[in-house]
């Protein structure tokens, strides 16, 4: 069996995009255009990994009519569907885009309540999937009913199976997940501040490592990525600020880091790939897609600098 990259999205979503001339609170709007795509961070990561040529499997939960639509939309896209069926309905997210400015208003449903039996079924499936995995990414928020230590539990199982594990979440699940010693944590600036209490990214990435993550890559929006690992400390940034829709840029960075990890690339190359994929996602016209030509063009121009490791 070819070993695959596994991504976990416990709170998958059916992402709807509505285009309106301009959103006005307390008014009625005719939506001119409706787009539906399978969503949730780990699904986005898997789509980018598949586009990079990696065999990829997605797991997590899907249920109800929205879950069925999500699976139908996912089927032709590349990643293999190993989602665990649940009784509750997969959440929808609605992105309302003002056509004039491109500004987006986001409405996110909370997601289905996961029962203890459904969580047990997931754990059993996850254990089987780990046996065929080269790496695993744990991505996004937890649906109602799943305990805050869920990612910590999934990290311990991955480590026990010898599978490198990346964590991309926030709040208490991030705090408890980091303490379970993942190979890589990828917080954004806000998540990193919430975890460490520090607004200084350099200080905060070191603190996050002390809390248990083997390596930490912080995404700093247009400033690119700051990486702290046993092998060193780097900052990677695109040559110019990309103009466009930042939806999914962080997920593309995760895909870049994870593919670089399984390909055993040196850190500077992993980071350059992650930054180029992230910028190519901002530049793509459809939210959460990446522009493959832009990626190839951007990659050689990514500036990766070594920083002093003293924090």
Asked if 30 is part of the footprint of a second copy (rule: CB under 8 A), the reply reads yes
Nearer to a second copy by Cβ, of 29 and 131: the residue is: 29
Nearer to a second copy by Cβ, of 65 and 239: the residue is: 65
Phi, psi of 231 (to 5 degrees): -80, -15
Nearer to a second copy by Cβ, of 36 and 223: the residue is: 36
Asked if 96 is part of the footprint of a second copy (rule: CB under 8 A), the reply reads yes
Site residue total, a second copy (CB under 8 A)? 30
**Interface mask toward a second copy for 46-85; x: CB under 8 A:** -------------------xx-xx----------------
Q: In the annotation, is 168 catalytic? A: no
**Structure tokens that stand for 158 in this block:** 């991955």
Asked if 160 is part of the footprint of a second copy (rule: CB under 8 A), the reply reads no
Least Å distance between CB 70 and a second copy?
A: 10
Other C-beta atoms closer than 10 Å to the C-beta of 156 total 15
Asked if 299 is part of the footprint of a second copy (rule: CB under 8 A), the reply reads no
> Taking Cα atoms as reference points, which of 35, 12, 20, 8 lies closest to residue 289?
35
> Taking Cα atoms as reference points, which of 218, 221, 251 lies closest to residue 238?
221
**Structure tokens that stand for 147 in this block:** 């305990």
What is the full DSSP assignment across 96-152?
EEETTT--EEEEE---PPPPHHHHHHHHHHHHHHHTTEEEEEEESPPPTTS-TTHHH
Give the whole-angstrom CA distance, residue 59 versus residue 80: 9
Out of 77, 80, 82, 94, name the contact with a second copy by CB under 8 A.
94
Asked if 247 is part of the footprint of a second copy (rule: CB under 8 A), the reply reads no
Interactions with a second copy, residue window 2-21 (CB under 8 A): 16, 18, 20
Selecting among 168, 251, 291, 303, the annotated active-site residue is 251
Rounded to the nearest 10 degrees, how much is the dihedral formed by the CA atoms of 5, 81, 112, 131? -40
Asked if 32 is part of the footprint of a second copy (rule: CB under 8 A), the reply reads yes
Least Å distance between CB 100 and a second copy?
A: 12
Least Å distance between CB 10 and a second copy?
A: 16
> Taking Cα atoms as reference points, which of 143, 94, 100, 99 lies closest to residue 247?
94
> Taking Cα atoms as reference points, which of 55, 47, 57, 49 lies closest to residue 8?
57
Q: Give me the residues that bind a second copy (CB under 8 A), please.
A: 16, 18, 20, 23-32, 34, 65-66, 68-69, 92, 94, 96, 98, 103-110
Which residues are identified as catalytic?
251
């Amino acid at each position: 069996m070819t070993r695959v990259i596994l991504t976990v999205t416990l709170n998958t979503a059916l992402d709807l995009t509505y285009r309106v001339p301009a959103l006005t609170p307390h008014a009625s709007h005719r939506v001119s255009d409706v787009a539906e795509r399978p969503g949730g961070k780990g699904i986005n990561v898997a789509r980018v990994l598949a586009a990079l040529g990696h065999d990829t499997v997605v797991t997590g939960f899907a249920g109800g009519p929205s879950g069925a639509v999500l699976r139908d939309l996912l089927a032709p896209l590349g990643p293999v569907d190993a989602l665990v069926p649940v009784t509750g309905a997969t959440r929808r997210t609605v992105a309302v885009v003002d056509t004039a400015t491109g500004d987006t208003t986001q409405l996110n449903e909370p997601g289905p309540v996961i029962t203890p039996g459904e969580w047990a079924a997931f754990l059993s499936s996850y254990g089987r999937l780990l046996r065929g995995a080269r790496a695993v990414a744990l991505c996004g928020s937890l649906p109602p009913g799943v305990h805050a230590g869920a990612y910590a539990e999934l990290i311990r199982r991955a480590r026990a199976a010898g599978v490198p594990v990346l964590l991309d979440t926030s709040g208490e699940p991030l705090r408890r997940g980091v303490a379970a010693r993942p190979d890589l944590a990828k917080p954004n600036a806000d998540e990193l501040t919430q975890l460490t209490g520090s607004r200084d990214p350099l200080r905060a990435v070191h603190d996050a490592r002390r809390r248990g993550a083997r390596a930490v890559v912080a995404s700093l929006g247009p400033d690119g990525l700051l990486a702290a690992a046993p092998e060193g400390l780097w900052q990677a940034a695109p040559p110019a600020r990309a103009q466009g829709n930042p939806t999914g840029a962080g997920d593309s960075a995760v895909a870049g880091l994870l593919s670089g990890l399984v390909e055993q690339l040196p850190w500077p190359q992993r980071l350059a790939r992650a930054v180029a994929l992230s910028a190519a996602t901002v530049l793509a016209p459809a939210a959460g897609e990446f522009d493959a030509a832009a990626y190839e063009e951007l990659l050689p121009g990514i500036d990766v600098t070594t920083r002093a490791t003293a924090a």
